[in-house]
Structure 1
């Protein structure tokens, strides 16, 4: 129970090191997008990486080659989906959530908050974290696709960065 054999520990050590090196190499080869901020799809792939690594390390029935092949399949699928999402907006909408406007011109959009399950307290925290002290100084707050808040201060000019944000028509620009 506490110790099976030296060969079991040696296998775990060797497979662990080699699987780790293979995973890092595959992630580096796949590009920055694989390691970007997470959306739901990225989270699933990351959890799957962890599962494959654990299985490769601890299961005698899974060879190192199977583990590395599993990593390669996941990285390949991630690459294909991100490539398709860049080329086809329908795929992007399927994989990623839309950014949503939560506050515009100092006015909280209550329906948007409810839909996104965000509180006004969280909005104020996002404003403070960006160094602002007054909600009136804020043109807009956007809940981004990765769950982060973007706080945009008032400039008095057109806010063209909001054109792809759900609810941007509330800005009147």
Structure 2
């Protein structure tokens, strides 16, 4: 159907304005980490917030108050999750992955790449996107906890202290 009634259109318009305002307030009160792209949990919360907003707008059986409560609870749970991850190492390891070294000193780490389901082509693409033309010029490529790649050229590597929390492979380093 293309059109039900003017009442339905009016309801969606009013709910959209109110729910959007509520979402802004909830996100502002809960802090920057609510919609960050740090790990899989953060992505799930972002999608859940969007789904909840959609439900508030389009589902007649969900009142604005119920929807706002759902948004607030999701934001609060994300806040608790982030706080627990900061203070408790065990909890942090349960919900967050570690960054993984995929290339070291110009050598592809095929075991690590296979465990993370990353292809050599994806590693090369990350290197090219940094404007580096030769794998030999790369000190490290890291798959970060948010799924992005970090590329350190040999000239940028310095002491390598930024790789301190990166999981290093226990064995096999193979050539390109």
Question: May I ask how many residue pairs the two structures share in their alignment?
Answer: 170
More displaced stretch, 47-56 vs 100-109: 47-56
- Cα deviation for residue 48 of structure 1 reads 1.4
- Segments of 5+ residues of structure 1 without an aligned counterpart are none
Identify the residue that residue 160 of structure 2 maps to in structure 1. Answer: 159
How do 1:123-138 residues align onto structure 2 when only pairs under 5 Å count? 123-138=123-138
Structure-2 separation of matches of 1:42 and 1:88: 18
Distance in 1 (CA, whole Å) between partners of 2:104 and 2:88 is: 30
Contact 2:138/2:152 (<8 A) preserved? yes
3-state SS in 2 of match to 1:165 = coil
Q: Is the 8 A contact 1:52 1:70 kept in 2?
A: yes
Inter-partner Cα distance in structure 2 for 1:125 and 1:2: 44
8 Å Cα contact 1:30-1:79 kept in structure 2: yes
Moved more, 103-112 or 30-39: 30-39
Q: Residues 87-102 of structure 1: matches in 2 within 5 Å?
A: 87-102=87-102
TM-score, normalisation: structure 1: 0.91
The SS at the match of 2:81 is helix
Q: CA deviation at 1:13?
A: 0.7
Q: CA deviation at 1:168?
A: 6.7
Aligned residue for 1:41, secondary structure, equals helix
Q: Distance in 1 between matches of 2:8 and 2:142?
A: 51
Query: Any unmatched runs of 5+ in structure 2?
Result: 172-176
- Give the drift of 1:158: 2.5
